Chains A and B, each alone.
Chain A
Amino acid sequence: EAGVTQFPSHSVIEKGQTVTLRCDPISGHDNLYWYRRVMGKEIKFLLHFVKESKQDESGMPNNRFLAERTGGTYSTLKVQPAELEDSGVYFCASSGGSGEWYNEQFFGPGTRLTVL
């Protein structure tokens, strides 16, 4: 069974440019989460999809970040325009069930974003 995949693994862009990150969850998982780790700090929750609906987007930093999950399968996270402080590792996770705490979240390897 394929795990959670993320693309690209690394992205280097200049301030002001746009970047789109993609996450493919485990097949059949309705719950999809985005997290971010800024260098040396804790991993922080960004948002949670249940199928194609945003269940919780309380962690999204600002309106430069746009997440979508059309059709309830893969998800994209777009940053437009990117700022220096957006640099970090973006993790995606998915889980089965209805998002209860006991459903394990399976994480992808992350996308390392560097904004110059």
Chain B
Amino acid sequence: AQSVTQLGSHVSVSEGALVLLRCNYSSSVPPYLFWYVQYPNQGLQLLLKYTSAATLVKGINGFEAEFKKSETSFHLTKPSAHMSDAAEYFCAVSGFSGGYNKLIFGAGTRLAVHP
């Protein structure tokens, strides 16, 4: 069975500071991992996904995540936070169901960016 743990339900950073959102996963099979972002009053939007092709994955809006099998982690980072990054971020692992994809999410991390 797969599961996801996101450390820190709320993270606050200053504009221009490093963003680090933590995600650890548990999976009995090679995982497929995703980060989604939800801006206020919008649906979830895919930021990036790990496909096993490369351990460092680059996504939209300057975000990237590194897959570390030894640590079972897939932390999301951005070198310099922008006010527009304020949103809720979800880490997810793909749970297989007869070959089909259903997403198993962490509880989410709300990112606040202050001037």
Contact = CB atoms under 8 A, between A and B. Distances in A.
Interface of A: 3-4, 31, 33, 35, 40-45, 48, 50, 55-56, 58-59, 91, 93, 95, 98-110
Nearest to A43: B105
Contact of B97 (A58, A102, A108): A58
Given A41-B107, A42-B107, A101-B32, A4 B43 contact: yes
A31 B85 CA distance: 30
Size category of the binding interface on chain B: 20 to 34
By DSSP majority rule, is chain B's interface helix, strand, loop, or mixed?
A: strand
A58 B96 CA distance: 12
B63 to A, nearest CB: 16
Interface in B96-115: 96-108
Given A43-B90, A45-B104, A100 B99 contact: yes
Nearest to B6: A42
Interface of B: 4, 9, 32, 36, 41-46, 49, 51, 90, 92, 94-108
